[in-house]
Structure 1
Amino acid sequence: MDLNQVIYLGNQITEQSGHGYEIIFAVVMIIGVLLLCFGLSNDIWVLFLTGVLLVIVPISLLAVFGDIFQTYQLNEYHKSVAQWKREVVNPYIESLPKEKKEIVFLKIETELSTELKDNRWYTYSSEVQQTPLTVSFKDKGITTLTNWYDASMELTNERKPYIEYQKVPEDLGHGMDKGFYNVRIYLPESYTFTEIK
């Protein structure tokens, strides 16, 4: 599957609005109330009180059932987006070539908020504890990223640290932005976090 197909399938998922059904329901209820009122009595007060009750009750029901219907639609929308991400986006990202670039700077960000930690940047569930890092690497100049990343200390001491990732060239929609996915940082076994120069 190519990039355009992924975007096209994502664009097919839209957030539905239930307001059309609510308007039709309200119009039918008002017509029903008017017909019922005129058929019940000729007394103006009975007609007025019946009309008020028959308007308030349907509007209350409309509000309750409209909210339930909208919540259902919103849940369906989120399920569809999750399914699209799982069945379309993740396989697309995993099919992208893995790029490896030499790291030129690496620093632990002890003050980095956990709110920045966002697993959407990984198409797999990580068994590795993620580390808050700022990493700079060679990629058409120097690129710097700061987030929580998988870091693996499995290189021999003779090898230079590098970053591996898959790059999405365009926004896919539904929060799947262009950028770096499945970022993994490889470090020598005896690496200590200082600036790499």
Structure 2
Amino acid sequence: MNYEEVVKIGDSVGLHESHFLASFTWWQYVLYIGLFIVLSIICLWIGENFEFIGALGLAVLFSVMVIFLPIINAASKHSVVNEKNNKEIAEYKNKYGDNYINDLPVTKAEVFYIKIDAEAEVSGSLIFGTGSINSNLLTTMTVSYKLNGNGITETAKTTPNFDLVKGDTPYITYQELKKDLPHYQHGKYNFQIHLPENYSFTDIK
């Protein structure tokens, strides 16, 4: 599936909206209007025939019921709509977005400097591979690598893989989404640092 097809599908999910007035059915409109009229008549009758604080309190109670019943109803339906949107977006990512990113070309680059930098602040958009790994389990690291003859240094949350044999040169692999997808930001995904099993960090903060 190409980029345009994935975008088209993504643009069609998670679009359900919950408007206050649209959350009511016709019979609810009739019920609330009828209830408002009845309670208004009762309050007027109480006010004309009884002169005590309880009458005022009852009138306030009726008013609160008329106001908050529709608000509670609308809030409930808004929650249902949000859940439906989140479910659609999750299904889109699982079926289309993640698969598209996983099929992108893999970039490999030689690493010449790595530092664990636990005190560095990294925004969520810079977390490599967001969505594939729990960010709470990642380590903030500064990585310098060579790409197309240039040295590039980035600080991000990732996790090292000690999957190389002793003496091998450390390297990184990642897949780059160059343009935004619906519900995805452009950037590096599936970012992995590959290190020899005996590698030791020489600059740990």
Asked if TM exceeds 0.5, the reply is: yes
Describe the shift of the 1:144–1:28 C-alpha distance in structure 2 as closer, same or farther (beyond 3 A). farther
Q: Distance in 2 between matches of 1:14 and 1:151?
A: 38
> 2:128 touches 2:191 (CA, 8 Å); kept in 1?
no
> Is the counterpart of residue 21 in structure 1 residue 22 in structure 2?
yes
State the shift of 1:177 in Å. Answer: 1.0
Structure 2 partner of 1:7: 7
Over 3 Å counting, the alpha-carbon distance change for 1:123 and 1:95 in structure 2 is farther
Q: Is the 8 A contact 1:108 1:134 kept in 2?
A: yes
Q: Is the aligned partner of 1:170 residue 2:179?
A: yes
Aligned residues between the structures: 190
2:152 alignment partner in structure 1: 143
Q: What are the ranges of 5 or more consecutive residues in structure 1 without an aligned counterpart? A: none
Q: What TM-score, normalized by structure 2, do the two folds share?
A: 0.71
Gaps of 5+ in 2: 49-54
Mapping of residues 29-40 of structure 1, within 5 Å: 31-33=33-35
Please give the alpha-carbon distance, in whole angstroms, between the structure 2 residues aligned to 1:120 and 1:83.
21
Query: Any idea what the Cα deviations from partners look like across 1:127-161, whole Å, max 9, x if unmatched?
Result: xx643311122235333322222312232333321
Q: TM-score, normalised by structure 1?
A: 0.74
2:83 is the alignment partner of 1:83: no
- The alpha carbon displacement at 1:163 in A equals 0.4
Shift of 1:80: 1.5
**What is the distance in 2 between the residues matched to 1:55 and 1:123?**
47
Give the alignment's Cα RMSD to 1 decimal.
3.8
Identity of aligned residues (%): 26
CA offsets, 1:116-135, max 9 Å, x none?
59988256458xx6433111
Q: Contact 1:166/1:183 (CA < 8 Å) preserved in 2?
A: yes
What is the rounded CA distance, in whole Å, between the counterparts of 2:36 and 2:158 in structure 1?
65
Cross-structure match for 1:156: 165
Alignment of 1:110-125 (within 5 A): 110-112=118-120, 121=129, 124=132
Q: 1:136 to 1:46 in 2, by over 3 A?
A: same
Pick from 97, 101, 105 the counterpart of residue 109 of structure 2: 101
Residue 194 of structure 1 aligns to a residue in which SS? Answer: coil
Deviation of 1:72 (Å):
1.2
Which of 79, 82, 87 matches 1:71? 79
Shift of 1:164: 0.4
Distance 2:126 2:112 in 1: 24
